[in-house]
Amino acid sequence: MTDLIQQAFSLAEEARKNSYAPYSGFKVGAVVKAKGSDKLYAGGNVENSVNGASVCAEITAISQMITKEGKKELDWVLVVSEQEDPLTPPCGVCRQFMFEFSNDENMPIYIYSLSGKHKKTTMGELLPMAFKGKDIILKK
């Protein structure tokens, strides 16, 4: 584990501790790294009694990257949950959200458990045939 990934794991673990998950009890932390920067942005999931109003950790972290620094392009994403078998990948909404800010099928995604068990995958493996902005056909 590189120093930066170790730092990201620690930040994601802390964000996971601060998650608000009173309904599922399933806390998740995420850290993203912006392209061209060594800054890391962390977020935890925030549930709501109206499930559609809940926000995932990955979206929280990406939103921090955008709103705090104006960065809009991901270099990689790291996700931590307590589940080990199987490791918990980002949900479908998060996959699409991550793709919006990476637009790169080769972008690394690191999936970790609290014990350090992990898997490295890519955006393309998690979201084949991603919906891209260029796929929107506007009628004139």
CA-nearest of 5, 1, 3, 70 to 32 is: 5
Number of independent structural domains in the chain: 1
Active centre residues (catalytic): 58
In a domain, 140, yes or no: no
Kindly report, residue by residue over 79-131, the tens digit of the pLDDT: 999 999 999 999 999 999 999 999 899 999 999 999 999 999 999 999 999 98
In a domain, 24, yes or no: yes
CA-nearest of 63, 124, 60 to 95 is: 124
Kindly report, residue by residue over 39-69, the tens digit of the pLDDT: 999 999 999 999 899 999 999 999 999 999 9
In a domain, 69, yes or no: yes
In a domain, 98, yes or no: yes
Domain of 100?
3-135
CATH at residue 49: 3.40.140.10
> At a CB cut-off of 8 Å and minimum separation 6, what does 46 contact?
19, 20, 54, 55, 60
107: three-class secondary structure by DSSP: coil
pTM over 0.95: no
Q: Which two tokens stand for residue 82?
A: 């307590």
In a domain, 26, yes or no: yes
In a domain, 72, yes or no: yes
